[in-house]
């Protein structure tokens, strides 16, 4: 069993490893770099957001790995030291590390440890310890709207992760490649939930995390500039303690109670194999913890001057959508094009996302009189015991599904998870020193199956952003952005954001 004290101890160990890796001498060899500083950078950054309305515009806060705020006025000062493991890409043994901290204003915490990790790799094997910002599998962060299951919208979760990078299936001459990974970690927002949640609201603490994925890739770019990828990602919340539970299956009436979930080796096994049961399952055992995931596919063209990709993600929140028993209705589908260098537009994407079906509107367990079980009303991102698919109030999935951080009553609950959305992203570089980005999104929102809105609500989100990298100030970057929300979900919000960054090579 991993205690919270042990978790904090592991964080300190990780930070110690990062510092040691940075300053310890090491002899030059063919396996490791001559200096562990090679490729390392130190970045100092400051950002400020100011606006009008009830909140900061969505695209000034979403998909920034949680280092953002829904407050209309907020800011942070950040120091980041990173050595990407890709620095040693030509070597069999590779090393990467990072330490990334921030002081914030009007955020969920004043001092934030955004990243603290060390990773080592040998050939296709890579082990990562700590909290690291992971990219999305099929979408680009600058153009896409976000992923349905594991996106870039919330703070990274500390974990121990083992990756097996792309390797060729024997006998296929590289035409069929595999990639897989698995991890265990823990949510770090228990204290924040305790201070932020409503006094009698449901909250959790010391919750554990598990994630795994398997991907196939078909094609060889040296023979044909087209590849096809398909994969499955799954994640779960388990262990920990849930406070202020009120459920009819506990036979406690309206009384609130606390439930401590198992966190022994059996609980880890159940998270891996999607087995076990919860105390609230009653006579119809389901699966221990909160399980979800998605199927992803991508068809990519790798041209010498043009690149293009069509991608698709199908989300599931329990076993009913793990197969095609209820059809394929909820998904994200998109396309992205990267053009050769030109003064106009060099990147464009279009996406459509829908989560309105959720296996249907009907749900009931088997009874003596009714033997058929209906697995509808999946209630995406919510769970009976856990505080849902969120970290520090921000959804770990797609930002069109309204995060609990917006809840005025401080409930850790997603009250708007049935949506349809359309998204366009454009980027361009008119000059070497300048780059711009435009995001425009339109959504229709129905609330929940159990508590629908009286009318379908519309909401628009717009971002216009310009980045300046002056030749005369090497390493300096300034980004100015304007955001606009208009609609009835998060309201009418306007805001401006300025971020200034200086990067030093170490």
DSSP 392-413: TTEESS-TTS--GGG-TT----
Q: Which residue has the higher pLDDT, 318 or 118?
A: 118
Task: Note the pLDDT of residue 277.
Answer: 79
CA-atom Rg of the chain in angstroms: 23
Model pLDDT for residues 267-288, shown as the tens digit of each residue: 999 999 988 877 776 656 678 8
CA 257 centroid distance within chain: 31
In which residue are the tokens 């717009």 written? 462
Q: Residue 490 and residue 406: Cα distance in Å, rounded?
A: 8
Q: Residue 506: helix, strand or coil by DSSP?
A: coil
Q: Is residue 364's pLDDT more than 70?
A: no
- Please give the C-alpha separations between residue 175 and each of 143, 223, 232, 300, 395, in angstroms, as whole numbers: 29, 10, 20, 15, 37
Task: Note the pLDDT of residue 248.
Answer: 57
Model pLDDT for residues 439-485, shown as the tens digit of each residue: 999 999 999 999 999 999 999 999 999 999 999 999 999 999 999 99
Contact 467, 435 (CB under 8 A): yes
Outline where 249-390 has alpha helix (H).
265-273
- Strand runs (DSSP E) across 152-207, as ranges? 159-168, 176-186, 203-205
In which residue are the tokens 């996106």 written? 151
Contact 463, 439 (CB under 8 A): yes
Task: Note the pLDDT of residue 245.
Answer: 87
Q: Is residue 135's pLDDT more than 50?
A: yes
In which residue are the tokens 């090497």 written? 474
User: Which of 408, 424, 425, 407 shows the shortest CA–CA distance to 416?
Assistant: 407
- Please give the C-alpha separations between residue 202 and each of 196, 244, 385, 397, in angstroms, as whole numbers: 11, 5, 8, 20
∠ at Cα 481 (477, 485), nearest 5°? Answer: 160
Q: Residue 243 and residue 207: Cα distance in Å, rounded?
A: 12
**Distance, first Cα to last Cα, the chain:** 40
Q: Residue 26 and residue 22: Cα distance in Å, rounded?
A: 10
Task: Note the pLDDT of residue 31.
Answer: 52
Tokens of 59: 């695209």
Instruction: Catalogue the long-range contacts made by 192-199 (C-beta closer than 8 Å, 24 or more residues apart).
Output: 192/108, 192/109, 192/392, 192/393, 193/387, 193/412, 196/108, 196/393, 196/410, 197/410, 197/411, 197/412, 198/409, 198/410, 198/411
Q: Residue 10 and residue 3: Cα distance in Å, rounded?
A: 11
Tokens of 168: 């060729």
Residue 262's pLDDT band, with cuts at 50, 70 and 90, is very high
Q: Residue 216 and residue 203: Cα distance in Å, rounded?
A: 38
| Phi (first) and psi of residue 193, to 5 degrees | -60, -40
Q: Which domains does the chain have, with CATH numbers?
A: 122-493 (2.40.160)
Q: In sequence order, which residues have a C-beta less than 8 Å from that of residue 363 and are 6 or more positions away?
A: 374, 375, 376, 377
| Phi (first) and psi of residue 12, to 5 degrees | -65, -40
Contact 57, 483 (CB under 8 A): yes
Task: Note the pLDDT of residue 373.
Answer: 55
Q: Residue 388 and residue 407: Cα distance in Å, rounded?
A: 14
Mean pLDDT of 103-114: 94
Task: Note the pLDDT of residue 12.
Answer: 42
Mean pLDDT of 302-307: 96
User: Which of 282, 468, 452, 276 shows the shortest CA–CA distance to 379?
Assistant: 452
Task: Note the pLDDT of residue 19.
Answer: 40
Task: Note the pLDDT of residue 8.
Answer: 42
Q: Around Cβ 81, how many Cβ atoms within 10 Å?
A: 19
Residue 1's pLDDT band, with cuts at 50, 70 and 90, is very low
Mean pLDDT of 432-444: 98
Q: Round the average pLDDT of the chain to a whole number and report it.
A: 89
User: Which of 358, 407, 353, 406 shows the shortest CA–CA distance to 381?
Assistant: 358
| Phi (first) and psi of residue 501, to 5 degrees | -140, 140
Task: Note the pLDDT of residue 35.
Answer: 61
Percent of the chain at pLDDT > 90 equals 78
Model pLDDT for residues 372-396, shown as the tens digit of each residue: 555 667 899 999 899 999 999 999 9
Q: Residue 208: helix, strand or coil by DSSP?
A: strand
Percent of the chain at pLDDT > 70 equals 87
Contact 236, 291 (CB under 8 A): yes
Task: Note the pLDDT of residue 24.
Answer: 39
Mean pLDDT of 356-368: 68
Task: Note the pLDDT of residue 374.
Answer: 56
């Amino acid at each position: 069993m991993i205690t919270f004290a042990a978790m904090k101890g592991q964080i300190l160990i990780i930070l110690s490893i990062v510092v040691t890796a940075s300053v310890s001498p090491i002899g030059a060899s063919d396996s490791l770099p001559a200096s562990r500083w090679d490729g390392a950078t130190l970045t100092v950054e400051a950002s400020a957001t100011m606006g009008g309305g009830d909140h900061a515009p969505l695209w000034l806060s979403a998909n920034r790995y949680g280092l953002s705020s829904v407050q209309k006025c907020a800011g942070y000062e950040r120091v980041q030291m990173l050595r990407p493991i890709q620095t040693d890409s030509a070597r069999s043994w590779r090393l990467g590390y990072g330490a990334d901290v921030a002081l914030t204003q009007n955020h969920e915490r004043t001092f934030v440890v955004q990243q603290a990790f060390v990773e080592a790799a040998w050939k296709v094997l890579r082990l990562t310890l700590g909290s690291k910002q992971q990219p999305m599998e099929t979408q680009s962060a600058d153009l896409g709207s976000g992923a349905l299951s594991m996106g870039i919208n919330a703070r990274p979760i500390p974990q121990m992760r083992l990756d097996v990078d792309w390797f060729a299936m024997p006998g296929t001459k590289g035409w069929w490649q595999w990639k897989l990974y698995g991890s265990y970690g823990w949510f770090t927002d228990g204290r924040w939930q305790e201070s932020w949640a409503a006094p009698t609201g449901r909250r959790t603490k010391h919750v554990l995390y598990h994630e795994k994925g398997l991907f196939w890739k078909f094609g060889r770019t040296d023979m044909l500039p087209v590849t096809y990828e398909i994969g499955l990602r799954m994640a779960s919340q388990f262990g920990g303690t849930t406070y202020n539970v009120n459920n009819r299956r506990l036979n406690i009436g309206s009384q609130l109670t606390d439930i401590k979930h198992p966190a022994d080796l059996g609980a880890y096994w159940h998270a891996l194999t999607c087995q076990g049961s919860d105390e609230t399952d009653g006579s119809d055992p389901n699966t221990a913890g909160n399980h979800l995931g998605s199927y992803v596919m991508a068809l990519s063209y790798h041209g010498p001057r043009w690149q293009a990709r069509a991608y698709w993600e199908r989300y599931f929140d329990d076993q009913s959508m793990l197969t095609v028993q209820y059809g394929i209705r909820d998904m994200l589908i998109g396309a992205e094009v990267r053009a050769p260098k030109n003064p106009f537009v060099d990147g464009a994407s279009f996406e459509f996302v829908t989560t309105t079906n959720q296996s249907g509107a009907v749900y009931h367990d088997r009874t003596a009189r009714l033997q058929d079980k209906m697995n509808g009303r999946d209630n995406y991102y919510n769970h009976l015991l856990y505080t849902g698919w969120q970290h520090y109030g921000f959804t770990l999935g797609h930002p069109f599904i309204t995060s609990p951080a917006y809840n005025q009553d401080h409930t850790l609950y997603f009250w708007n998870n049935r949506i349809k959305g359309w998204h366009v992203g454009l980027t361009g570089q008119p000059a070497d020193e300048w780059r711009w980005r435009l995001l425009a999104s339109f959504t229709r929102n129905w609330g929940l199956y159990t508590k629908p809105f009286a009318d379908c609500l519309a909401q628009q989100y717009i971002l216009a952003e310009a980045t300046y990298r002056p030749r005369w100030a090497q390493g300096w970057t300034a980004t100015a952005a304007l955001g606009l929300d208009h609609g009835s979900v998060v309201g009418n919000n306007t805001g401006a954001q300025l971020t200034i960054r200086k990067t030093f090579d170490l």
